């Protein structure tokens, strides 16, 4: 079984921007019951379907499959909840990990979150200077939650600059 083990942080400065080029992502979520998620995503000209189980600490099961682009487009427009999640994602290798920085667009404009996937839950990670508050486990920052309650509706939370 595939496992996703990650930590999530707010980004507190723009110094990371010179470290990588971003790619546009568009993704949506199919309605589910419970704490499982089903995500449809397009990156470039490739579609993906991802199923995730409920989180247990910072870990959860994850299964991702490539699907035809036309299928992903149809699922996003016909089956997924709105608003869709749009963002530029930057992959930044530092030390023995790769940081994924998501700079959100559309309804979530202004939110910038960095995630790091770990080999195991106890893995120690050196935090770059542009990393701010840890938000691992805060459901407001889950992409699936940003569909139901976009960042623009939050008011005055702790947010990225």
- Radius of gyration of the chain from Cα atoms? 15
Q: Which position has the higher pLDDT, 159 or 92?
A: 92
pLDDT of amino acid 57: 86
The answer to the question of residue 159 being in a domain is: no
Structural domain containing residue 113: 3-153
Burial class (CB in 10 A: 0-12, 13-18, 19+), 88: middle
Q: What pTM, to 2 d.p., does this model score?
A: 0.89
The answer to the question of residue 121 being in a domain is: yes
Q: Distance (Å, rounded) from C-alpha 118 to C-alpha 126?
A: 12
Catalytic residue of the set 25, 29, 90, 141: 29
- 35-83: pLDDT as tens digits: 899 999 999 999 999 999 998 888 999 999 999 999 999 999 999 999 9
The answer to the question of residue 66 being in a domain is: yes
pLDDT of amino acid 2: 84
- 133-159: pLDDT as tens digits: 999 999 999 999 999 999 999 985 444
The answer to the question of residue 85 being in a domain is: yes
Whether 141 sits among the annotated catalytic residues: the reply is no
The answer to the question of residue 160 being in a domain is: no
CATH of residue 139's domain is: 2.40.320.10
The answer to the question of residue 158 being in a domain is: no
Average pLDDT over residues 110-134: 95
What is the tally of structural domains in the chain? 1
């Amino acid at each position: 079984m595939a496992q996703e083990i990650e930590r999530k942080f707010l980004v507190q400065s723009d110094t990371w921007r010179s470290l990588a080029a971003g790619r546009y992502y568009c993704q949506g979520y199919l309605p589910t019951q419970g704490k499982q998620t089903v995500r449809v995503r397009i990156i470039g000209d490739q579609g993906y379907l991802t199923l995730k189980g409920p989180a247990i600490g910072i870990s959860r099961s994850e299964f991702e499959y490539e699907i035809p682009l036309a299928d992903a487009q149809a699922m996003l427009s016909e089956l997924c909840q709105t608003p869709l999640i749009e963002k530029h994602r930057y992959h930044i290798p530092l030390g023995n990990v790769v940081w994924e920085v998501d700079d959100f667009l559309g309804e979530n404009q202004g939110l910038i979150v960095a995630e790091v996937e770990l080999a195991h839950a106890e893995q120690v990670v050196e935090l770059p200077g542009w990393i701010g508050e840890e938000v691992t486990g805060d459901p407001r920052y889950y992409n699936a939650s940003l569909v139901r309650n976009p960042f623009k509706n939050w008011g005055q939370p702790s947010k990225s600059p």
